Amino acid sequence: MCHVIVTCRSMLWTLLSIVVAFGELIAFMSTDWLVGFPRTPDAVFGPHGATAAGEAYRPTLGIYGRCIKLPHLRRGVLCGPYAVHFGEIASGFWQAASIFLAAGILLLCAVAFISVFTMCFQSIMKKSIFNVCGLLQAIAGLFLILGLMLYPAGWGSDKVQLYCSQDAAPYQAGLCTMGWGFYTAMGGTVLTFICAVFSAQAEIATSSDKVQEEIEEGKSLICLL
């Protein structure tokens, strides 16, 4: 018989696992990892003569995407991938970082998917599903840390120097500042380890004596604070 067990701690762990997975995925896809130094688009020549150069703006650069301002486009800012193939990513360090980050995000997405079903299934192959998911989240966190450590090592590439000046070097961002994508990835990594630790609390909450008493009473839907 399937018992649906919902507790505050298990539900909080589930929601946090989903938020972390989506947060890391959005950060990875973001073009706002590095914010370049201010620059002004060149003047545009149209049918009525030359127009004034546009207002100063700061281009942004992600692991495989970028946002730049093109004066001849009405919408102004053009965002998209600069790397069509994996080998076109700015540097080898960024290629390695993208592999580790993608592996970590894949594990987090798998855990987020599994966590939805923990209300009905609390074990898999006689192992606590919360403990298994917590272990996967810890492994994902290690992958994310490796990716974030390798990422600044690629700041010396030609692509980064184009956005951050010639002063850019490994672990030195030159005239660039860090964008929200990088900080979101860092925050998501911290929350990943919090989720891994909190999974133990979710396991304790769903296997408590109160839950067992509810099961013995024949209840199929168990909700506890």
DSSP per-residue codes, 125-186: TTEEHHHHHHHHHHHHHHHHHHHHHHGGGGTTSHHHHHHH-TT-BTTB-TT-EE-HHHHHHH
Residue 157 near residue 89, CB atoms below 8 Å: no
What pLDDT does 181 receive? 95
Q: Which of 79-83, 113-117, 130-134, 216-220 has the lowest mean pLDDT?
A: 216-220
List beta partners, residue 67. Answer: 60, 79
Choose from 36-40, 67-71, 189-193 the range with maximum mean pLDDT.
189-193
Q: Which of 23-32, 70-79, 122-131, 209-218 has the lowest mean pLDDT?
A: 209-218
Average pLDDT rounded to a whole number, residues 184-202: 94
What pLDDT does 195 receive? 95
Q: Positive or negative CA dihedral for 73, 77, 80, 82?
A: positive
What pLDDT does 37 receive? 86
Nearest to 202 by CA among 19, 5, 24, 4: 5
Residue type, 2: C
List beta partners, residue 49. Answer: 46
pTM (predicted TM-score): 0.84
Q: Which of 19-23, 35-39, 150-154, 205-209 has the lowest mean pLDDT?
A: 205-209
Does the pLDDT value for residue 46 go beyond 80?
Answer: no
Does the pLDDT value for residue 24 go beyond 80?
Answer: yes
Residue 157 near residue 94, CB atoms below 8 Å: yes
What is the dihedral angle through the alpha carbons of 45, 80, 154, 60, rounded to the nearest 10 degrees? 60
Rounded to whole angstroms, the Cα distance separating 68 from 36 reads 10
Percent of the chain residues topping a pLDDT of 70 = 79
